[in-house]
Chains A and B, each alone.
Chain A
Amino acid sequence: MVAMGTASATTPPTSGGTTAGTAAATGDLCADKAKNSSNIKAIEAVDASTVKFTLCGPDVAFPAKVAFSAFQIAPSEYLKSTGGTGDLLEKPVGTGPYVLKAWEKGSQIVLERNDNYWGTKALSKTVVFKWNGESAQRLVELQSGNADGIDNLGTDDFATVEADKNFQVKPRDALNVFYVGFNVDMAPFDKPEVRKAIALTLDRQRLVDNFYPKGSVAATQFLPPGIPGFDKGFTDFTKNVDEAKKLMEQAGLKDGVDVTLSYRDVQRGYLPQPTPIATDIQAQLAEIGIRIKLDVQESGTFLDNANAGKLPFYLLGWGADYPDPTNFFDYHFGAGASPQFGKGFDDLHAKIQEAAQTADPAARAKLYQDVNALLAEHVPMVPVAYGGSAVAYKAAVKGAHASPLSNENLSVMGIDGQDQFVFVQNGEPSGLYCADETDGEALRVCEQIGESLLAYEVGGTKVVPSLAESFESNDALTEWTFHLRKGVKFSDGSDLDATDVVDSFTVQWDAASPLHKGRTGDFTYFSALFGGFLNPPAKS
């Protein structure tokens, strides 16, 4: 990826943690992409409780983005004292309903109620996060009474759990998409006929019927329903094997072709059973002579390879971070996207950029219809399914819910007469400084401890006030002002003020900041959501 070391060495370190004043003073930061590749022009503290963001171009989704848990506010002093890494990764300080009590590596994370919380106090005195990668194991934890809630109920366990009076199942809306991806620069997928043939052969309904839990839907386009911009009347491909065979013939592959399909054996909402699904796709595509060899890769290696454009044919998906089409289209098919699908398509780049800067919902919807049509024409991937998933709780749990963004709020849940609430999720977080995490397992824990300027409503996607009581923007949607809530205290006892907000964002924004370290230094979400960094490191 990017060479962090060299970047910090060649750029003079900015004084302290606050670069906002400096940044705003250096003139037009929007003109030079080498100086600032992001869409942010300035982040300023107007007064102790007001923060103003100035953007280069309009961004309709700005409030939805700052509500995301990667942009939680940490105390400015704590960021400086930890140097932006180290303790920051394992002992997060936030304003949320819970504070971290202990992280026993490899076994559990224990949170304790924050009695100074500004909002409604949490129901349970302690929350314990545990993890297990096997859905059958999680179910055993629930059935044996060790767990009060478990994430991602197994596809084949729905009937058992729903029939049991001791449990309740909360389905999670399918706010994700699972797709079969191609690198359109690599043979044989450089031939549009082959990609189209695969799209016409896949029986998406059969995959959903057999391998997805209740609440899942066969895909008709890249955007899942529930994200604005989803076009109800549009279906990209209808199964037609005869047509597909003709296309294969046109591509000169009448006798078929041998290909390798890569995937990772990791359960996700969009991919509940990786190997059976891969095996079924293998069986389906054999019908048009595509002979597939399955290649299971380790999760991290797989993602790195996909992002580097090294995989010709792979299974991947995307879950919504915030409910806006930019989160889906820009990240995958925008001009700044990774070479995951090859070098990209210019007409697609242009439409996606135009849509992101259009504020009028009707005009925007029209543009996204064009994007859908272009995707069906170029076929850089075949969307297969919107995967529903579910969280199962004991029947006695009050406030039980499932969030479509997978950020269940445990502070509103509890069992009468029970101090402790145990939640078993799929995996252990890699770190708890969520600015530099992308894994939902880390983000869910962060959600309990920290807070962002705004938040998503409990169990929904609507943006609601959080640390900022209110916000407004100018008509051009380029200046956003947030008014902070008064009297909010961090778990280390310090007060929340505008400097904390400015620093929490600037540490991520300014790649030359000495505090821009994190766990990996990638700050993937900031870059993906706001277009890049200030003082971006030279691309290697």
Chain B
Amino acid sequence: MSLDPGAETPAEIPHEAVTAAGAPQRSAASGGRGRDIWRSVLRSWSGRLGLVLAVFLVGVAVLAPVIAPYPPTKVLLDSSRNERKLEQPCVHLLGCDSGEVQHVMGLDENGRDEFSRVVYGTRLSLLAGAAAVILSVVVGTILGLISGFYGKWLDNVLMRIMDIILSFPSLLLAILIVTVLGKGLINSILAIAIVGVPTYARVVRAQVLSLKEQDFVTADVALGVPRGRILRHRIFPNTLTPLIVQSTLGFATAVLEIAGLGFLGLGVTPPTAEWGTMIAAARGLIFNSPHLVFFPGAMIFLNVIAFNLLGDALRDALDPRTAGRD
């Protein structure tokens, strides 16, 4: 398709109408379109890599109790076992003496199995990230719909509030919120969620503004369909596409920010396993026991890479304006 790079604002290009599907009703949810999207995601190497990594991470999180050899908070320093804290990784397959107990990622500063902690940390980080994103998406979507559809002074008030939130660096604002609400996992999820709301609200609002002017909506208005019904059945389903892309990208950020708060000592309290807190606890030992910083750090890295690649691929697949650019 031809693309006019000068016309970027959604209001000027009724892009949904240009797609082959014709009237863009519940397009994102329909079966044929869904298959197209997956095919499109899998076509690029980055999409494939992102999807594989994401599936891997989710798999680890779901199967944590099966994969982890020990409970994540179990201290293995009993006098009955001949083990020392901060033990280096020992993998029998890689030549570690079979007389020693196997610890794939070694033991941490409290004598707990690092591998089990990383695995359970995956579960906690993904859950926390997902919770934060779902919260922001729900609140952001509602605000965006109201703001875009009803407009006028309500739009002004809501969007200025969103601008205020956006004017702070997100992690700084999250730290402020956690400081006010108190430390803890639930509060850090809330903080990350609040910080994320404006992005979704603005994405949805922009979408609503462009949809409002399109023929299939104006036709409904002319036929006298109630406004609430138009909002639910015409506008909302068509905002899902950019939301899916945005929330996939936002998920990577949310997990990173949860880890950031944990690193600063504002997230989960010990002994719960969480990547950020694990790195914080081991940061002073980086020269003697680098494995304690490396493995949780690598997991955060994998997570960010996975969901960013997946998000990019999804955008390419879902957004016809940028599709086929590669």
Interface of A toward B, CB cutoff 8 Å: 134-136, 139, 154, 156-157, 160, 206, 210, 265, 273, 275-276, 278-280, 282-283, 293-296
Contact = CB atoms under 8 A, between A and B. Distances in A.
Contact of A156 (B77, B110, B281, B288): B288
Contacts of B14: none
Contacts of A160: 287-288
Given A134-B284, A265-B265, A275-B281, 9 more contacts: A156-B289, A160-B288, A210-B111, A276-B110, A280-B77, A280-B111, A282-B271, A283-B271, A294-B270
Nearest to B183: A296
A282 B270 contact: yes
Contact of A273 (B73, B84, B109): B109
Which of the listed residues B77, B79, B86, B283 has the most CB atoms from chain A within 10 Å of its own CB?
A: B77
B75 interface: yes
A400 to B, nearest CB: 23
B79 A154 contact: no
B269 interface: yes
A275 B288 CA distance: 18
Nearest to B270: A279
B21 to A, nearest CB: 55
Given A206-B79, A210-B77, A278-B270, A283 B284 contact: no
B286 A136 contact: yes
A210 B85 contact: yes
B285 interface: yes
Interface of B: 73, 75, 77, 79, 84-86, 109-111, 265, 269-271, 281, 283-289
Contact of B86 (A156, A275, A280): A156
Given A210-B85, A273-B109, A154 B270 contact: no
Contacts of B110: 276, 279-280, 283
Contacts of A295: 269
A295 B182 CA distance: 11
Contact of B284 (A136, A278, A280, A294): A136
A276 B86 contact: no
Contacts of A275: 270, 281
Secondary structure call for the A interface: helix
A283 B269 CA distance: 14
Contacts of A134: 284
Contacts of B73: 283
A283 B109 contact: no
A280 B75 contact: yes
A134 B280 CA distance: 12
A136 B77 contact: no
A154 B287 CA distance: 12
Minimum-distance CB pairs A-B, first 5 = A283-B75, A136-B284, A279-B270, A276-B109, A279-B110
A295 B271 CA distance: 12
A210 B281 CA distance: 15
Given A210-B85, A279-B271, A296-B265, A154 B109 contact: no
A538 B286 CA distance: 52
Given A276-B281, A283-B75, A294 B269 contact: yes
B75 A135 contact: no
Contacts of A136: 283-287
A156 B73 CA distance: 22
B271 A154 contact: no
A389 to B, nearest CB: 15
Contacts of A276: 109-110, 281
B269 A293 contact: yes
A265 B84 CA distance: 24
Nearest to B289: A156
Nearest to B74: A283
Contacts of A154: 284
Nearest to A134: B284
Which of the listed residues A134, A157, A276, A278 has the most CB atoms from chain B within 10 Å of its own CB?
A: A276
A296 B266 CA distance: 10
Given A206-B77, A282-B271, A296-B265, A156 B285 contact: yes
A486 B132 CA distance: 73
Contacts of A293: 269
Contacts of B265: 265, 296
B9 to A, nearest CB: 49
Contacts of A280: 75, 77, 110-111
Contacts of A273: 109
Contacts of B109: 273, 276
A428 to B, nearest CB: 19
A156 B109 CA distance: 10
A372 to B, nearest CB: 27
Nearest to B265: A296
Which of the listed residues A134, A160, A282, A293 has the most CB atoms from chain B within 10 Å of its own CB?
A: A282
A160 B85 CA distance: 17
A296 B287 CA distance: 26
A210 B265 CA distance: 23
A266 to B, nearest CB: 13
A222 to B, nearest CB: 26
Contacts of B286: 136
Contacts of A157: 287-288
Contacts of B287: 136, 139, 157, 160
Contacts of B79: 206
A282 B283 CA distance: 22
Contacts of A139: 287
Contacts of B288: 156-157, 160
Nearest to A267: B284
B284 A135 contact: yes
A157 B286 CA distance: 11
A293 to B, nearest CB: 7
A511 B274 CA distance: 51
Contacts of B283: 136
Which of the listed residues A134, A154, A265, A279 has the most CB atoms from chain B within 10 Å of its own CB?
A: A279
Contacts of A294: 269-270
Nearest to B281: A275
